[in-house]
Chain A
């Protein structure tokens, strides 16, 4: 369960979230709608811990854990995942290496052994089909030459 209470946040000097409260129970899917500048992206960024945003009041808990006390990577290990609107490119870093680093970082946080290369490649093949990303993209650098849709699924 994700529980947000009276959340205030600002970017620079500008306060954008002014007391947001929201509870999302397990299995629920919520869609936030609002005009431009309403704070949809800000709320998502604050949940994942983007350092450009400063929380001034309120709390966020995820399955009872205090999210705001956790680093972005700890939140990711806990299972918070953000699909970026325009994910950045990382030149020279292949998708395969990037994914392996991500998967193994999470496994390490869970106290598991890192995946062997062969097991990882197998896992990646399975998951790739699920999100319909072409094999060719796996040897490219992260997000380089990806279409808009492909990036968002990455």
Chain B
């Protein structure tokens, strides 16, 4: 169809809105990875001996492993010596920024431009932000206000200095350094990310969020986030990410660990919009992420919601270990791939406690020449009496050159379990488009409308401001993909 070629061309010319770079003095350590680099990162952060040892153990284990290749993506052999592992855009001030006056105005401008004002009076009402650029947290807002309730919200580097006992107790307890190849790499060289601790019986009064920005060239970003929600508490946490447009690929290998105690509840939402590469598949971020929540307490709840529109390659399976009796977990996902993007994403629900429940709702949307895979595991352990899982995986194809794949795994060791799985694959319907056209709605807008309708179940799970953003993002990511 000549018309669809025309649309493909239009997509190729589509602009990535966050592709600018920030011109700021950045201290970047030399390229390459070895024990000295691991020691240097630890030293720069002024870390205690145990953490250096944690990193070195992870590094030595990583050396013995090879890059996994089971995912349905074409991840090249990454040259780990060709990138730098630490870039500090705040390097001018020795101690790190103390007040806003000390932050480079260029950095402030960057985050303003991204819609994340770091001045509290300008901030989105009810949202506290930890802003991370490259390897360093630039600023965390509303820290003092939150601390009145005993809530700790700061960068992980600061947490290591200020709350070493808490960090030592929980770091690596959900995702051990030897969990997988990229987890080992992250554990060796992680730089910044957020730390959240919600004390007992506290409802966090604001949305907490972290905004990750990659800026420096040839640098990997190794985010590390740790959230601990103590008994009877609640927190809603959001994560956003963008990166400049560059011809070479950049690596973002993150670990997020969440610990949920008795009767506590955590909602974790992600809007991932890393640079996806250009229409020919040049550049873009490799997003290789291990996210896991440990529902340690009885009746604890954890909900992952993700809207994945960016990255050249996504390798990400936010998972839940349902350890506590009566714990409940949810995974809601929309993954959009366009052009040459490849996404292999899904979840793992590990039922260990009694009467545990999990829900998986996954919506994949593929366009262009992209490949979009859902990969999920539901495991029910021997003692997990009365476990229930409901999974629903839908794929929507736009155009005829893309692919959608579903790889559901089930591993059930208890015959009282109730497991349901539904899956559908559909193409965007010509009749729907024509019906919209006939009512005066352009094809472009109709695709946005239909895709947003398709993803609504997931979008509805996001906090309101982010739901609006996500809707726009979905429409923009797919602009002009249907002829």
The answer to whether A90 touches B434, judged by C-beta atoms less than 8 angstroms apart, is: no
Central interface residue in A51, A92, A106, A141, by most chain B CB within 10 Å: A92
Q: Which residues of B contact A90 (CB under 8 A)?
A: 432, 435-436, 449-450, 453
Q: Which residues of B contact A121 (CB under 8 A)?
A: none
Chain B minimum-CB-distance residue to A105: B440
Chain A minimum-CB-distance residue to B443: A73
- Interface status of A71 (Cβ within 8 A of chain B): yes
The answer to whether B450 touches A71, judged by C-beta atoms less than 8 angstroms apart, is: no
- Interface status of B5 (Cβ within 8 A of chain A): no
Kindly specify which of B101-109, B337-345, B454-462 makes contact with the partner chain.
B454-462
The answer to whether B434 touches A76, judged by C-beta atoms less than 8 angstroms apart, is: no
Q: Which residues of A contact B400 (CB under 8 A)?
A: none
- Interface status of B437 (Cβ within 8 A of chain A): yes
The answer to whether B440 touches A98, judged by C-beta atoms less than 8 angstroms apart, is: no
Q: Once bound together, how far apart are the Cα atoms of A106 and B457, in whole Å?
A: 29
The answer to whether B432 touches A77, judged by C-beta atoms less than 8 angstroms apart, is: no
Q: Which residues of B contact A109 (CB under 8 A)?
A: 440
- Interface status of A135 (Cβ within 8 A of chain B): no
The answer to whether A71 touches B437, judged by C-beta atoms less than 8 angstroms apart, is: yes
Query: Which A residues fall within an 8 A CB radius of B?
Result: 48-52, 71-73, 75-77, 81-82, 84, 87-88, 90-93, 97-98, 101-102, 105-106, 109, 141
Classify the interface of chain B: helix, strand, loop or mixed: helix
Q: Once bound together, how far apart are the Cα atoms of A75 and B440, in whole Å?
A: 8
Mask of B458-476 contacts with A, CB within 8 angstroms, 1/0:
0000000000000000000
Q: Which residues of B contact A102 (CB under 8 A)?
A: 436, 439-441
The answer to whether A92 touches B454, judged by C-beta atoms less than 8 angstroms apart, is: yes
B430 is contacted by which of A52, A71, A73, A75 (Cβ under 8 Å)?
A52
- Interface status of B442 (Cβ within 8 A of chain A): yes
Q: In the complex where A91-B453, A92-B454 touch, is A73 in contact with B442 (Cβ < 8 A)?
A: yes
The answer to whether A77 touches B453, judged by C-beta atoms less than 8 angstroms apart, is: no
- Interface status of B13 (Cβ within 8 A of chain A): no
Q: Which residues of B contact A87 (CB under 8 A)?
A: 435
The 9 A-B residue pairs with the shortest CB-CB distance, nearest first, are A92-B453, A93-B453, A72-B437, A76-B440, A92-B456, A102-B439, A105-B440, A106-B440, A88-B431
Q: Which residues of B contact A75 (CB under 8 A)?
A: 438
The answer to whether A76 touches B452, judged by C-beta atoms less than 8 angstroms apart, is: no
Q: Which residues of A contact B445 (CB under 8 A)?
A: 101, 105
The answer to whether B432 touches A105, judged by C-beta atoms less than 8 angstroms apart, is: no
The answer to whether B437 touches A93, judged by C-beta atoms less than 8 angstroms apart, is: no
Extra contacts besides A92-B453, A105-B441, A141-B453 (19): CB < 8 Å: A51-B434, A52-B430, A77-B440, A82-B438, A84-B435, A87-B435, A90-B449, A90-B450, A92-B454, A92-B456, A92-B457, A93-B450, A101-B436, A101-B445, A101-B449, A102-B439, A102-B440, A105-B440, A106-B440
A-B contact pairs, 28 of them (CB 8 A): A50-B434, A51-B430, A51-B434, A52-B434, A71-B437, A73-B437, A73-B442, A73-B443, A76-B437, A76-B438, A76-B440, A87-B435, A88-B432, A91-B453, A92-B453, A92-B454, A92-B457, A93-B449, A98-B436, A98-B439, A101-B436, A101-B445, A101-B449, A102-B440, A102-B441, A105-B439, A105-B441, A106-B440
Q: Which residues of B contact A141 (CB under 8 A)?
A: 453
**Shortest distance in angstroms between A96's beta carbon and chain B's nearest beta carbon?**
12
**Shortest distance in angstroms between A44's beta carbon and chain B's nearest beta carbon?**
10
The answer to whether B435 touches A105, judged by C-beta atoms less than 8 angstroms apart, is: no
The answer to whether A93 touches B440, judged by C-beta atoms less than 8 angstroms apart, is: no
